[in-house]
Amino acid sequence: MKRIFVIALVLCAISVASFAQTTTANVTANVTATLTITKITDLNLGNVSQGATVTITSLTAGAATFTIQGAGSAGTTVTVTNPATLLFGAIPMTFTAQIPRYNTVNTQSSSSAFGATTGGSTTTSVGGQLFLWIGGSVTAAAAQSVGSYSGVITVSVAQP
Amino acid sequence: MSTPIVIRPILTSRAECILLLFLSLPLVHSFAQTPLRVATLNELSIGTVTAGRTLLIRPSDAGAAKFRIVSDRDTTTIIRFFLPSQCSSLQGNEQLRIEYSSDGAAWSAQDAVSGSTLFDPRQPLTLQLQQNKPMYIWVGIVAYPHRFQQAGRYAANITLTVISLR
């Protein structure tokens, strides 16, 4: 009889033992590389005579240059906002935008043009780099006031 | 020289057999049913995170993991998570650091995270379950991609174990 109580005790212990159930949840994340744009040089149109036009194309020295660092081999949209005029105080001088150019290597001569002066879309290098060149043109009126004129070109960049 | 082998029956009487049968009924009963049902209702989606920027998913956020626990009887349960400290890239060559905060999880007897009770998913939690009344649990996360974190998709698994003490 003692034996049966031992067995019964074990069975009771098992029957009151805990139950455990398990489930899992997937954790997922999509990491995108940091996207940065850095201006390297400004667009410097130099001296302009009254009644003359000076043009720095995006393919020539003197164009503004930018570097972009983002996700590698990623679609990238570049948006350029050009000023309509440069200003000397409140005095305007007409500014004409040039179509910006881009390259995945830092070589202006082999760069490609976007489709519009406002930029366009392209793909970064495997390392995530993109180089931009932006030119411009100014036309001084015959009676253009002498002075130093300036404006701002704004470039924004986005990756999906 | 030989030794005789004696086999003695464990149960020596009919009465013992009947007694044992009755005592083992709870055991039979417990094996016949699954008293706990634990289900994953939502996976934990960190979404898109930019390298170098910390991203917090609160238990109340849509991306939080969600679980449901149901017991077929009133019971005391212990909730325990296995929480990985990193997600692996699908290529397996890069790790994304993840952590859990002291208020990174929540539980509620209602299927609504609003009004739920926050708790630390890193610590075991004792919950009282009522018969056939679901208990819901949400778990958030903090992702720490470093500045040069390789872009791409990362994944890991959270494991929830619920122990019923009956």
Sequence spans of domains, chain B: 35-164
Higher pLDDT, B80 or A125: B80
Q: In what order do the strands lie in the sheet with A136-139?
A: A53-56, A136-139, A91-97, A85-88
**Tens digit of each residue's pLDDT (9 = 90 or more) over A22-68:** 999 999 999 887 889 999 999 999 999 999 999 999 999 999 999 99
Predicted complex ipTM: 0.78
How far does B1 lie from chain A, in Å, by closest CA? 32
Task: Write out pLDDT tens, residues A91-126.
Answer: 999 999 999 999 999 999 999 999 999 999 999 988
How far is residue A22 CA from its own chain's centroid?
45
Give the SS3 label for residue B119: strand
In three-state secondary structure terms, A123 is strand
> What pLDDT is recorded for position B31?
44
Q: Chain A contacts of B153, Cβ < 8 Å? A: 28-31
Cross-chain CB nearest to B98 (options A27, A34, A35) = A27
Residue B12 binned pLDDT confidence (cut-offs 50, 70, 90): low
Distances (CA, A) of A99 to A130, A158, B104: 16, 19, 51
Q: Closest approach of chain A CAs to the CA of B4, in angstroms? A: 23
H or E segment at A146?
A: none
CATH number at B35-164:
2.60.40
CA distance A17 to chain B (A): 7
Show Cβ contacts of residue B21 under 8 Å, excluding neighbours closer than 6 positions: none
Higher local confidence (pLDDT), A5 or A48: A48
Q: Residue A49 contacts by C-beta under 8 Å, 6 or more apart in sequence?
A: A140
**pLDDT given for residue B25 in this prediction:** 46
Q: Round the CA-based radius of gyration of chain B to a whole number and report it.
A: 24
Q: Helices B25-32 and A2-15 meet at what angle, rounded to 10?
A: 30
2-31 of B, contacting A, C-beta below 8 A:
10-11, 16, 19-20, 23-24, 26-27, 29-30
Non-local CB neighbours of B8 within 8 Å, separated by 6+ positions: none
DSSP SS3 for B146: coil
